[in-house]
A = this chain, B = another copy of it.
Amino acid sequence: MPEVVVRRLAVYLRILREADLSDNRFVSSAELGEWAGVTPAQVRKDLAMFGEFGKQGVGYQGRNLRDELARILNTDETVAVAIIGMGELGAALARYIQRRHAGNREYPFRAVALFDVDPAKVGVSVEGVAIDHLDALPERVREQKVKLAVVSVPAAAAQAVTDRAVAAGVRAILDFAPVKLRVPPHVRVHYADVSLELHQLAFYL
C-alpha cells in the first residue's frame, strides 16, 4: 500500500473525527476532498483501495466511514505507546498524548510505558505513568504488548534503544532523533526531525 495513501487516510480520519457527524450525515468525495485539500477522484481512489464504502448518488455515511477508517488504521481500539527518552521533548510528548487520551476517549493512543536512564528520572510519574529504567524495556514492552514506540533520546543513543525495542517486539517507531535508523524489514520507521523540516523550509525564504 503506497505510503501517501496511508497518510491521506489518516487525514480523512481526523477530519471525520472532528466533523460534526449527525446520525445520517452523508459526506461526498467532493466535500472530503475539499477539507483535505485533494481532488474528489483522489478521495474515491484512496477509499476504493480498501472496499466499497459509499452509495452511488449519495456519498459516504459519515460515521460509518469514520469507523471503517479507524479500523483500517488500527485505531479503533486503544493503541499502547512506549516513549523512550524522557528529556524535555519526550516528557512533553508523554503529557501531550496522555492528556489527549484523557480528554477525548476517541483519541486512540495511550502512553503505557516511559523510559529513561537517568536515575533522577526513574520512578518519577508523568501524567500518572511512572518512568522506568531503560533496562526494564524488554520486560515492559512484552508484558504490555507494545507495538509502537517513540524514540526521543539523544542522537548517539537512538540506534541502540531502537535495537532493544525491536528485539522486544516493537513494530513501528516514530524517531525524533536526527539519525537514520537501521531496522529489519518488518519494522516501520517514521521520522519527526525538526532540524530537517527547518532546513527544508529555509529553502523557501
A residues with a Cβ closer than 8 A to B are 1, 3, 6-7, 9-11, 13-14, 37, 72-75, 79, 81, 87-89, 91-93, 95-97, 100, 107-109, 147-148, 171-174, 178, 180, 188, 190, 192, 194-205
Q: Are A6 and B203 in contact (CB under 8 A)?
A: yes
Q: How many copies of this protein are present in the complex?
A: 2
Q: Are B171 and A197 in contact (CB under 8 A)?
A: no
Residue from the set A37, A73, A97 with the largest chain B CB neighbour count within 10 Å: A73
Residue from B87, B93, B180, B198 in contact with A148 in the complex, judged by beta carbons closer than 8 Å: B198
Q: Are B201 and A197 in contact (CB under 8 A)?
A: no
Q: Are B89 and A96 in contact (CB under 8 A)?
A: yes
Q: Are B73 and A148 in contact (CB under 8 A)?
A: no
Across chains A and B, which 7 residue pairs bring their CB atoms closest together, nearest first?
A88-B92, A10-B199, A172-B201, A188-B204, A74-B202, A89-B92, A147-B205
A146 to chain B, nearest CB (A): 10
